[in-house]
Structure 1
Amino acid sequence: MFKPNHNVERVEVLTQPEQRRRRSVEEKLAIVRETFEPGATVSGVARRHQVNANQVFAWRKLYQDGSLSAVSAGEQVVPASDLAEAMKQIRELQRLLGKKIDCALTIAAGGRPLKTVCEVLGVSRSNLAVKSKRPAGWVDRRKTPVLDDMPLVTELLELVADLPAYGYRRAWALLRRSREALGQPRVNAKRVYRVMRRHGLLLERRPRHAPSTRRHDGKVAVDRSNVRWCSDGFEFRCDDSAPLRVVFALDCCDREAMSWAATTGGYTGDMVLDVMLQAVENRFAGALKADSEIEWLSDNGSCYIADETMTFSREIGLKPVTTPVRSPQSNGMAESFVKTMKRDYVAWMPKPDARTALQNLAIAFDHYNESHPHSALKYRSPREFRQQANSPT
């Protein structure tokens, strides 16, 4: 047999269309004050008075802003937009009339009490007291002194005179290196930027290229030298239209160009073999084999994937690793080095013929290893970075 449950909630049955109840300001104030009583909750008070809890929260906000009190007292309530516009006009008048602290000093000098002046204008009493006791000839010594930029401009022009592709960061790195060698204090990079901008020494901004739609989640860089080397090639034409093709090997940690080879012909496997062997000899004091296995990262060019190249690389302690097809991002460090060489060196060096270009290219590789500031190396050159990494201190 069905037994009714005595814990049944009361349900109100509507027999006619419900009418919206209009509550007076006094009722709203009474409900809001009831929510501030100890132990009371907004939801409980709302259920007790059969009001939506969101409505009670809105009344509490109006009560805290003073709107409900103003309505009950018969005062005019100003819209929020009008109040914001009035505050904007007040700030503009304060700007035109001067700072409030200056107005307070003028009023206090006329004999008004400091406490009253500070309370009316809303300024700090201690600040006003300190400023009122300062002599008429007081000068704020905390301001940054005006520095003469011309010595710094002259120094920067001497450092980057032959390096027109260097921006303010690399100019600052050269300046830091020069001053460290002379025992002089460093110059902040932000000041170098301000000085170069003021005197028109900054580079023109290059147009942004559309981002690549290919996704590359790998990481080419490594934390230690002689763990991974990368290799690639680039070519350019001399003024007499003779082509010059270059193959190089780069360490993926310290970014040093360990070896390179150039020719006016095509890329061949013999060039890659020479670059491999020369890199091993340079890194391991003339040894013909690396002390431990080193990854050799390259693309899928025929000179890299030839059987003779693969076999020779393993004999001298290199492990050949090729990038996925049509994925230059996987060998991004070598691609970035190509861009650096073409932008900072090849574009500016004299190259009337292949012989002259080859001589200047050797100078360019030496300058890159010895002096070129690299952003990934905290704007140290590759060999400078290696010296610091190998130093005991």
Structure 2
Amino acid sequence: MAGRKRHSAEDIVRKLRRADELAAAGKTGEEIAAELEVSAATLYNWRRAYGGMDTDAAKELKELREQNARLKRLLAEAELVKDALREVAKGKILGPAAKRRAVVMLTTTLGMSERLACTAVGLARSTHRRLPLSQTPVDPDAETRAWLRSYATKHPCHGFRRAWAALRYDERREVNKKKIHRLWREEGLQVKVRSPRKRAGVSSIPPIEADAPKVVWAIDFQFDSTVDGKAIKIASMVDEHTRESLLNMVERSITGKELVDELEKVFAVAGGPPKVLRMDNGPEFISQALQQFCDGKLGTSYIPPGTPWNNGHIESFNNRLRKECLNRNHWNTLFEARVVIGDFKEEHNHRHRHSSLGYLTPAEYAAACRCTHTPVACEIN
């Protein structure tokens, strides 16, 4: 069966002229349509649309109608694209992965064609159809991705920089930090960053800079509890220069005298006290026992009340201890808390790599540090 024949404007005008000649010869409409090989209805529509036109006018009219139909179709597609993009996302869609997800959403949910969906989001159809290398069996980074997922499961509070440091220095792998960042994001392992509030107020004491080891040791308390609801008091102390954790006291309560006894042990192990002990105005720190112990032996630097950011090193350590240890464990007994918290502080000294220390652990940095104290830098009287 022959397909439907499409007539050009010139053909239509010629056949209409031939129809006029046949009608003048006395033939009926059915006979004219049969001879012209068209239906009577087609012949009637031709006369209504092109009757009285010459070839050029008929051709121009047909082109105008085709152009008008094309413009209507394009306008309809443009409006459809606008409505579809409003449903997908607000703003510009960036990145091939996001565009692929948008195309899938448009084709499955809104029933758009793949061609129109790719045009709407600005993605080539070949790019949409080609699977990312990470989704193929030949992914060269499959092992690294698995390692990062395992690391994130074990250390849910760590970011990609600490993962990279562990790969680079602990696993001895030559890896690029930017590549680890990309894989970390692709695996969805980002840690939500909470922006600190802007705080007003300036310290009333001159700044004291820890320009060498054993210059400034910062000390503070934090609290937790065992499963029976009884309180646990934790005392921590860090060297602000080397970031080493130097004190591990986990008790139900800690008095000024007990704190002094523990400090004496730490000073004996460290080979002497630091030059300054930085702390807040807690009752244990302003107690007569600690004041008498420090008198003539080391300086005391009290931060202004209500300004913990002036003691940032110990606050940062306490925050890490809270998120990575206290919040992830529950304590059945006080002894269990002592063991686990002590292990965490030991791991902090020998396993945690600080970016500010060139990705060395505090113990490694302390062993290699040759900095000497400059009194002017610390402004210690």
Choose which of 262, 265, 270 in structure 2 pairs with 1:283: 270
Asked whether 1:303 is paired with 2:280, we answer: no
Deviation per CA, 1:77-121, whole angstroms, max 9, x where unpaired? xxxxxxxxxxxxxxxxxxxxxxxxxxxxxxxxxxxxxxxxxxxxx
- 2:374 corresponds to which residue? none
Partner of 2:181: 193
Aligned-residue offset at 1:378: 2.5
For 2:239 and 2:359, the matched residues in 1 are separated by 17
1 or 2 for the larger relative contact order (CA 8 Å, sep ≥6)? 2
Deviations 1:215-240 (A, max 9, x none): 45965552210111111111112333
Give ranges in structure 1 of 5+ residues lacking alignment: 1-145
Match of 2:154 in 1: 162
**Displacement after TM superposition at 1:383 (Å):** 0.7
From 148, 161, 165, give the equivalent of 1:173: 165
- Give the AA of the match of 2:344: A
Q: What amino acid maps onto 1:311 in structure 2? A: Q
Q: 1:209 to 1:321 in 2, by over 3 A?
A: closer
Task: Report the aligned-residue RMSD.
Answer: 2.4
Report deviation, 1:159.
4.0
For 1:253, the aligned partner's letter is: H
Q: Secondary structure at the match of 1:326?
A: coil
The answer to whether the aligner puts 1:354 opposite 2:334 as a matched pair is yes
Instruction: Verify the 8 A CA contact 2:308 2:315 in the aligned structure 1.
Output: yes
Q: Could you give the per-residue CA deviations for residues 340-376 of structure 1, whole angstroms, max 9, x where no partner exists?
A: 1101221123423322222111111111111112232
Q: 1:318 maps to which residue?
A: 298
2:275 equivalent to 1:294: yes
- Other-structure match for 1:261: 249
Matched, 1:271 2:258: yes
Distance of aligned partners of 1:294 and 1:189 in 2 relative to their CA distance in 1, 3 Å threshold: same
TM-aligned CA distance change 1:240 to 1:375, over 3 Å: farther
| Partner Cα separation in structure 1 for residue 194 and residue 303 of structure 2 | 29
From 204, 208, 214, the equivalent of 2:195 is: 208
The unaligned stretches of length 5 or more in structure 2 are 1-137, 372-381
Distance, in Å, in 2 between the alignment partners of 1:354 and 1:154 is 36
- Answering whether residue 239 of structure 2 is matched by residue 245 of structure 1, we say no
Q: Distance in 2 between matches of 1:335 and 1:280?
A: 22
1:314-354 per-position Cα deviation (integer Å, ceiling 9, x unaligned):
36x32222122332222222122111110122112342332
Query: Does residue 1:368 correspond to 2:348, yes or no?
Result: yes
Superposed CA offset, 1:244-280 (max 9, x none): 1011221110011112212112x31023213321321
**Residues 323 and 330, structure 1, Cα contact 8 Å, conserved in 2:** yes
Larger Rg: 2
Give the residue type in structure 2 aligned to 1:351. W
- 2:218 equivalent to 1:230: yes
1:382 corresponds in structure 2 to 362
Contact 2:239 2:246 in 1 (8 A): yes
The match for 2:309 among 314, 320, 329 is 329
The answer for the alignment partner of 1:151 in structure 2 is 143
Mark the CA change 1:221 to 1:240 in structure 2 (over 3 Å): closer, same or farther.
farther
The count of residues paired between Structure 1 and Structure 2 equals 233
1:304 positional shift: 1.1
8 Å contact from structure 1 (residues 373, 380) kept in 2: yes
| Aligned-partner Cα distance in 2 for 1:256–1:178 | 19
Structure 1 pair 380–350 and aligned structure 2 pair: CA distance change class (3 A): farther
Residue 353 of structure 2 aligns with an amino acid whose one-letter code is: P
- The verdict on how the C-alpha distance between 1:323 and 1:209 changes in structure 2, with shifts beyond 3 A counting, is closer
User: TM-score by structure 2 length?
Assistant: 0.56
